[in-house]
Amino acid sequence: MKPTQASDTLRQWRESAPYWERHRATIRSMLAPLTEALIADAKISEGQSVLDVAGGPGEPSLTIAERVGATGTVTCTDAVAEMVAAAESEAKRRGVANIEFRQCTADSLPFDDNSFDAVVSRLGVMFFPDPLAGLREMMRVTKSGGALSLAVWHKSELNPFTQVITDVVSRHVDASPPADADAPGAFRFAEPGKLAGLLKRAGVNDVRERVLHFQIEAPLAPGEFWEMRSEISETLREKLAKLSPEQVLNVAKEVKGVPISSLAEAAASIPPCDIFRRPRREHLSCLALPIEARSKCKRLWRSQKPGDRPSSSVWPRTR
């Protein structure tokens, strides 16, 4: 990525930070199943040290801090200072003491090799300026026998959380030229096999994809859903800025007129993709973890560092 693109991405996230902080509780509720899946598949438990890369305003870091307990530690990182500050403020408000904060990018983690029992990134890797370098760094700081768990969005058309409003806005805004498929963006790794291929280039072999169905919920009325989506999405804010105030009101009216059941599904049926990888030192194999619920789809990968013979303790459980 060009330096100007990386700079633009960071600027956009700095501008989005206040909105993510404002809607923190709603987003935490909506993505809670994804957080739980990351925790379960990485087998995060009491007493462990965990790194959260691109942790935004504090999740899943704060939830993980509760799981590892007083004898464990969590380090929450983000490239944007405003996000880190928001996360630290929330930790103080909730009285969470076993957590540290660092501003840094994924491709330049300021930690020693083999520092963490688990490394996670929830919906972050698709925004890395250099995702390959970021993956290699995350592998570097993961302990032998530790786990690396990632999550990215699946295809936009399978994602009513974004598609409901996108369909409405598209009726008012001229179509944009196709986005660069390799540029930072929510659906950068939506294509099956794309992130798997990057993991292989980073040193992971035998990567397999798996669809994960799940249901998530948040108590949002149509107006609240519109307010949240129109604020936290830089792409949507940019499109709305091209409209007149009257057009923006019309878009809002259309979104608020969508049946409650449709918006409930949009807020509840977010189909991201999970990449779960369990690194080991000697051998590399990979399994998919099926987690069943009602919603659309996530892709999952789980693998090991080269050299280790898989043992029953690292194979995923069906639940």
Q: What's the confidence (pLDDT) of residue 75?
A: 98
DSSP secondary structure code for residue 283 in this structure: B
Per-residue model confidence as pLDDT tens digits over 169-226: 888 887 777 778 888 888 898 888 888 888 888 876 656 666 666 666 777 777 788 8
Average pLDDT of the segment spanning 15-22: 91
| pLDDT for the residue numbered 191 | 86
Say what the alpha-carbon torsion angle 96, 100, 104, 109 is, to the nearest 10 degrees.
-130
DSSP classification of residue 174: P
Please tell me the predicted confidence (pLDDT) of residue 80: 96
Whether the model pTM is above 0.85 = no
Higher pLDDT, 285 or 232: 232
Q: Give the pLDDT score at 294.
A: 23
At residue 302, does pLDDT exceed 90?
Answer: no
For 59, the 3-state DSSP assignment is: coil
Q: In the chain, what are the domains?
A: 3-154+187-217+272-306 (3.40.50.150)
Identify the band that residue 271 occupies on the pLDDT scale cut at 50, 70 and 90. Answer: very low
**How many whole angstroms from its chain centre is CA 283?**
27
Ramachandran assignment for 54, one of left (phi > 0), alpha (psi -120 to 50 degrees), beta (any other) = left
> Is residue 290 very low, low, confident or very high in pLDDT (cuts 50, 70, 90)?
very low
The predicted structure's pLDDT at residue 263: 52
CA of residue 301 relative to chain centroid, distance:
15
- Structure tokens, 143: 């302990």
- The stretches of the chain forming alpha helices (DSSP H) are 3-22, 24-30, 32-41, 61-68, 81-94, 131-141, 160-169, 194-201, 222-232, 234-241, 245-256, 260-268
pLDDT, mean over the chain: 77
- With a cut of 90, say whether residue 127 has pLDDT above it: yes
In this prediction, residue 268 carries a pLDDT of 32
pLDDT digits (tens, 9 = 90+) for 56-75: 999 999 999 999 999 999 99
- Please state the rounded mean pLDDT for residues 301-319: 31
